[in-house]
Amino acid sequence: MDTATVTTSEKPSLHLLCGKIASGKSTLSAKLGSLPGTIIVSEDHWLAALFANEMLSISDYVQYSSRLRNAMKPHLVSLLKAGLSVVLDFPANTQTNREWMMSIIKESGASNRLHYLKVSDEVCKSRLRARNAEGGHEFAASDQQFETITRYFEEPTADEGFDIIEYS
């Protein structure tokens, strides 16, 4: 993934990541997070730290993810208003999630970049199996969980107001 075309603007930017499970969002997040004046806020990290023992199902994830978003929004707005760019390693995979992200952009006055990793299901599943075997990721999803979650995936569209950068 070439991040050379991602330039920093004069005002802080909220970098968003859209892609199916194991499409490379966290890998790209780490690259973007190395830009000067930029920090990473990772949903997986925070959910694992706060709720790992309580997240046993997809419905648990939905519940705790919602709680985390509610708690994080004021913090994210403050970081952006303070002049830091933020790589928000939360899935921008549904229009509802992206609406929440756009509310942060509007409230903070930050610019945005929505990084869309357009990767086939076959490649994602292969990466997911390898990631699960390595055991280095906060969460391991089964093929069935991949299928269930992927059913809710909605591609971003230009009319949502994001600056979309597509990776294939």
Where would I find the beta strands (DSSP E) of the chain? 13-18, 38-42, 85-91, 111-117, 164-167
Whole-structure pTM value: 0.86
b/e map 17-29, b = 16+ CB within 10 Å: bbbbbbbbbbebb
Residue 122 amino acid letter: E
pLDDT computed for residue 2 by the predictor: 53
**Which comes out higher in pLDDT, residue 88 or 3?**
88
State residue 131's pLDDT score: 86
Mean pLDDT of the residues in the chain: 91
User: What is the pLDDT at residue 73?
Assistant: 98
Rounded CA separation 72/42 (Å): 11
Which pLDDT score is estimated for 163? 97
* The predicted structure's pLDDT at residue 58: 84
CATH for 13-167 is 3.40.50.300
Q: Where are the domains of the chain?
A: 13-167
